[in-house]
A = this chain, B = another copy of it.
Amino acid sequence: MVAMRGMDATMTGEDKAPRTERGRRTLRALLDAARAEFGEKGFHDSSVVSITSRAGVALGSFYTYFDSKESLFRALVKDMSGQVRDHVAPVLPGVGDQIDAEGRALAAFLLFARQHKEIYRIIDEAEFVAPDAWKAHYGTTVERILERLKAAETRGELSGPIDEAHAWAIMGMNVFLGLRYGVLGEERAVEDIAEVVNRMLRKGLG
Protein backbone atom coordinates (compact mmCIF):
# COMPACT_ATOMS: atom_id res chain seq x y z
CA MET A 1 0.00 0.00 0.00
CA VAL A 2 1.95 2.87 -1.29
CA ALA A 3 -0.18 5.50 0.35
CA MET A 4 0.30 3.90 3.72
CA ARG A 5 4.07 4.29 3.75
CA GLY A 6 5.19 5.68 7.09
CA MET A 7 2.62 4.00 9.20
CA ASP A 8 4.05 2.55 12.34
CA ALA A 9 2.25 -0.67 13.02
CA THR A 10 5.02 -2.03 15.16
CA MET A 11 4.82 0.22 18.14
CA THR A 12 4.01 -2.64 20.44
CA GLY A 13 5.76 -3.04 23.72
CA GLU A 14 5.41 0.55 24.79
CA ASP A 15 3.77 0.94 28.18
CA LYS A 16 4.70 -1.24 31.11
CA ALA A 17 3.52 -4.79 31.53
CA PRO A 18 2.23 -5.88 34.92
CA ARG A 19 4.31 -8.40 36.79
CA THR A 20 1.88 -9.54 39.43
CA GLU A 21 -1.63 -10.93 39.30
CA ARG A 22 -2.93 -7.84 41.09
CA GLY A 23 -1.26 -5.70 38.45
CA ARG A 24 -2.87 -7.68 35.69
CA ARG A 25 -6.30 -7.03 37.19
CA THR A 26 -5.60 -3.32 37.47
CA LEU A 27 -4.47 -3.11 33.87
CA ARG A 28 -7.57 -4.98 32.68
CA ALA A 29 -9.79 -2.65 34.68
CA LEU A 30 -8.12 0.37 33.13
CA LEU A 31 -8.51 -0.93 29.59
CA ASP A 32 -12.18 -1.75 30.07
CA ALA A 33 -12.86 1.61 31.66
CA ALA A 34 -11.03 3.38 28.86
CA ARG A 35 -12.97 1.60 26.18
CA ALA A 36 -16.26 2.63 27.78
CA GLU A 37 -15.11 6.18 28.46
CA PHE A 38 -13.60 6.86 25.04
CA GLY A 39 -16.61 5.25 23.37
CA GLU A 40 -19.04 7.44 25.24
CA LYS A 41 -17.27 10.74 25.36
CA GLY A 42 -14.54 10.69 22.76
CA PHE A 43 -10.87 11.23 23.44
CA HIS A 44 -10.87 14.88 24.41
CA ASP A 45 -13.86 14.81 26.69
CA SER A 46 -12.53 11.74 28.40
CA SER A 47 -10.23 12.37 31.30
CA VAL A 48 -7.68 10.29 33.08
CA VAL A 49 -9.37 10.90 36.42
CA SER A 50 -12.66 9.72 35.04
CA ILE A 51 -11.11 6.59 33.56
CA THR A 52 -9.33 5.69 36.77
CA SER A 53 -12.40 6.34 38.85
CA ARG A 54 -14.48 4.14 36.53
CA ALA A 55 -11.82 1.50 36.90
CA GLY A 56 -11.85 1.90 40.65
CA VAL A 57 -8.14 2.59 40.89
CA ALA A 58 -6.19 5.61 42.04
CA LEU A 59 -5.28 8.32 39.61
CA GLY A 60 -1.58 7.75 39.99
CA SER A 61 -1.89 4.07 39.13
CA PHE A 62 -2.69 5.00 35.59
CA TYR A 63 0.91 5.93 34.98
CA THR A 64 2.07 2.63 36.32
CA TYR A 65 0.66 1.04 33.19
CA PHE A 66 0.53 3.71 30.52
CA ASP A 67 2.88 6.45 29.49
CA SER A 68 0.09 8.84 28.67
CA LYS A 69 -3.55 9.16 27.82
CA GLU A 70 -2.60 8.96 24.17
CA SER A 71 -0.64 5.81 24.58
CA LEU A 72 -3.65 4.16 26.20
CA PHE A 73 -5.77 5.28 23.28
CA ARG A 74 -3.28 3.84 20.83
CA ALA A 75 -3.27 0.55 22.68
CA LEU A 76 -7.04 0.47 22.53
CA VAL A 77 -7.16 1.12 18.80
CA LYS A 78 -4.72 -1.66 18.08
CA ASP A 79 -6.63 -3.96 20.34
CA MET A 80 -9.97 -3.28 18.67
CA SER A 81 -8.46 -3.46 15.21
CA GLY A 82 -7.15 -6.91 16.07
CA GLN A 83 -10.48 -7.96 17.48
CA VAL A 84 -12.30 -7.06 14.28
CA ARG A 85 -9.83 -9.11 12.31
CA ASP A 86 -10.13 -12.04 14.66
CA HIS A 87 -13.87 -11.88 14.47
CA VAL A 88 -14.11 -11.76 10.71
CA ALA A 89 -11.32 -14.11 9.68
CA PRO A 90 -12.99 -17.39 10.74
CA VAL A 91 -15.99 -16.92 8.44
CA LEU A 92 -13.97 -16.37 5.28
CA PRO A 93 -13.38 -19.99 4.40
CA GLY A 94 -16.70 -21.69 3.60
CA VAL A 95 -18.99 -22.76 0.83
CA GLY A 96 -19.33 -20.69 -2.33
CA ASP A 97 -16.97 -18.33 -4.11
CA GLN A 98 -15.12 -15.23 -2.90
CA ILE A 99 -18.16 -12.99 -3.34
CA ASP A 100 -20.06 -15.22 -0.96
CA ALA A 101 -17.11 -15.00 1.41
CA GLU A 102 -17.12 -11.21 1.29
CA GLY A 103 -20.82 -11.28 2.14
CA ARG A 104 -20.14 -13.51 5.14
CA ALA A 105 -17.33 -11.17 6.19
CA LEU A 106 -19.66 -8.19 6.09
CA ALA A 107 -22.30 -10.01 8.11
CA ALA A 108 -19.71 -10.97 10.71
CA PHE A 109 -18.48 -7.39 10.85
CA LEU A 110 -22.00 -6.07 11.32
CA LEU A 111 -22.53 -8.43 14.23
CA PHE A 112 -19.28 -7.30 15.78
CA ALA A 113 -20.19 -3.63 15.35
CA ARG A 114 -23.52 -4.24 17.05
CA GLN A 115 -21.79 -5.75 20.04
CA HIS A 116 -19.11 -3.10 20.14
CA LYS A 117 -20.75 0.08 19.05
CA GLU A 118 -17.92 2.12 20.51
CA ILE A 119 -15.61 0.87 17.78
CA TYR A 120 -16.61 3.62 15.37
CA ARG A 121 -16.06 6.47 17.77
CA ILE A 122 -12.73 5.07 18.76
CA ILE A 123 -11.32 4.15 15.37
CA ASP A 124 -12.65 7.27 13.68
CA GLU A 125 -11.16 9.49 16.31
CA ALA A 126 -7.83 7.74 15.87
CA GLU A 127 -7.50 9.74 12.66
CA PHE A 128 -6.79 12.73 14.89
CA VAL A 129 -5.38 11.23 18.03
CA ALA A 130 -3.32 8.32 16.80
CA PRO A 131 -2.88 8.69 13.04
CA ASP A 132 -0.38 5.85 12.83
CA ALA A 133 -2.70 3.37 14.45
CA TRP A 134 -5.49 4.62 12.24
CA LYS A 135 -3.47 4.21 9.07
CA ALA A 136 -2.36 0.79 10.23
CA HIS A 137 -5.94 -0.29 10.75
CA TYR A 138 -7.25 0.74 7.37
CA GLY A 139 -4.00 -0.16 5.63
CA THR A 140 -4.01 -3.75 6.76
CA THR A 141 -7.73 -4.06 6.24
CA VAL A 142 -7.53 -2.96 2.64
CA GLU A 143 -4.48 -5.10 2.02
CA ARG A 144 -6.30 -8.17 3.24
CA ILE A 145 -9.28 -7.45 1.05
CA LEU A 146 -7.08 -6.89 -1.97
CA GLU A 147 -5.20 -10.14 -1.42
CA ARG A 148 -8.44 -12.06 -1.27
CA LEU A 149 -9.74 -10.44 -4.43
CA LYS A 150 -6.50 -11.05 -6.31
CA ALA A 151 -6.49 -14.68 -5.29
CA ALA A 152 -10.07 -15.04 -6.47
CA GLU A 153 -9.16 -13.37 -9.72
CA THR A 154 -6.35 -15.87 -10.18
CA ARG A 155 -8.81 -18.66 -9.48
CA GLY A 156 -11.06 -17.20 -12.18
CA GLU A 157 -13.85 -16.35 -9.81
CA LEU A 158 -13.77 -12.67 -10.66
CA SER A 159 -13.70 -11.02 -14.04
CA GLY A 160 -10.77 -8.66 -13.54
CA PRO A 161 -8.69 -6.76 -13.79
CA ILE A 162 -8.88 -6.27 -10.03
CA ASP A 163 -6.87 -3.45 -8.49
CA GLU A 164 -6.46 -1.58 -5.24
CA ALA A 165 -9.41 0.67 -5.96
CA HIS A 166 -11.77 -2.29 -5.73
CA ALA A 167 -10.48 -3.04 -2.28
CA TRP A 168 -10.99 0.54 -1.13
CA ALA A 169 -14.45 0.59 -2.59
CA ILE A 170 -15.44 -2.58 -0.78
CA MET A 171 -13.92 -1.39 2.49
CA GLY A 172 -15.85 1.87 2.17
CA MET A 173 -19.10 0.03 1.61
CA ASN A 174 -18.49 -2.21 4.60
CA VAL A 175 -17.57 0.66 6.86
CA PHE A 176 -20.63 2.73 6.02
CA LEU A 177 -23.00 -0.21 6.09
CA GLY A 178 -21.53 -1.14 9.45
CA LEU A 179 -22.14 2.39 10.65
CA ARG A 180 -25.70 2.45 9.35
CA TYR A 181 -26.90 -1.06 10.15
CA GLY A 182 -24.54 -1.95 12.95
CA VAL A 183 -24.36 1.21 15.02
CA LEU A 184 -27.07 3.67 14.02
CA GLY A 185 -29.88 1.13 13.73
CA GLU A 186 -30.42 -2.60 13.87
CA GLU A 187 -33.72 -2.80 12.08
CA ARG A 188 -32.45 -5.04 9.30
CA ALA A 189 -30.96 -8.51 9.55
CA VAL A 190 -27.25 -8.69 8.88
CA GLU A 191 -27.83 -11.41 6.28
CA ASP A 192 -30.22 -9.08 4.49
CA ILE A 193 -27.57 -6.40 4.16
CA ALA A 194 -24.97 -8.98 3.15
CA GLU A 195 -27.33 -10.22 0.45
CA VAL A 196 -27.78 -6.71 -0.96
CA VAL A 197 -24.04 -6.35 -1.29
CA ASN A 198 -23.68 -9.85 -2.64
CA ARG A 199 -26.03 -9.06 -5.51
CA MET A 200 -24.27 -5.76 -6.20
CA LEU A 201 -20.89 -7.42 -6.35
CA ARG A 202 -22.09 -10.33 -8.40
CA LYS A 203 -24.12 -8.57 -11.07
CA GLY A 204 -23.96 -4.85 -10.43
CA LEU A 205 -27.01 -2.65 -10.43
CA GLY A 206 -27.50 -2.43 -14.17
> Secondary structure at chain A's binding surface: helix, strand, loop or mixed?
helix
Contact of A166 among B149, B165, B174, B200 (CB under 8 A): B200
User: Could you tell me how many residues of chain A have their Cβ less than 8 Å away from some Cβ of chain B?
Assistant: 49
B residues in contact with A88, CB < 8 Å: none
A155 CB–B CB distance under 8 Å: no
Contact of A204 among B124, B128, B202 (CB under 8 A): B202
B residues in contact with A128, CB < 8 Å: 42-44, 121, 124-125
Contact of A159 among B44, B97, B187, B205 (CB under 8 A): B205
A171 CB–B CB distance under 8 Å: yes
Distance from A53 Cβ to chain B, minimum over Cβ atoms (Å): 13
- Cα A166 to Cα B197 with chains together (Å): 8
Contact of A203 among B99, B124, B149, B206 (CB under 8 A): B206
Distance from A117 Cβ to chain B, minimum over Cβ atoms (Å): 13
Which residue on B lies nearest to A99, using beta carbons? B206
Which residue on B lies nearest to A176, using beta carbons? B172
Which residue on B lies nearest to A196, using beta carbons? B165
Q: A201-B206, A206-B99 are in contact. Are A169 and B159 (CB under 8 A)?
A: no
Given contacts A159-B203, A165-B177, A168-B176, 9 further A-B contacts (CB under 8 A): A2-B185, A2-B187, A99-B205, A121-B127, A124-B128, A168-B177, A172-B176, A202-B204, A204-B204
Chain A residues engaging chain B, CB cutoff 8 angstroms: 2-3, 42-44, 97, 99, 121, 124-125, 127-128, 149, 157-159, 162-166, 168-177, 179-181, 184-185, 187-188, 193, 196-197, 199-206
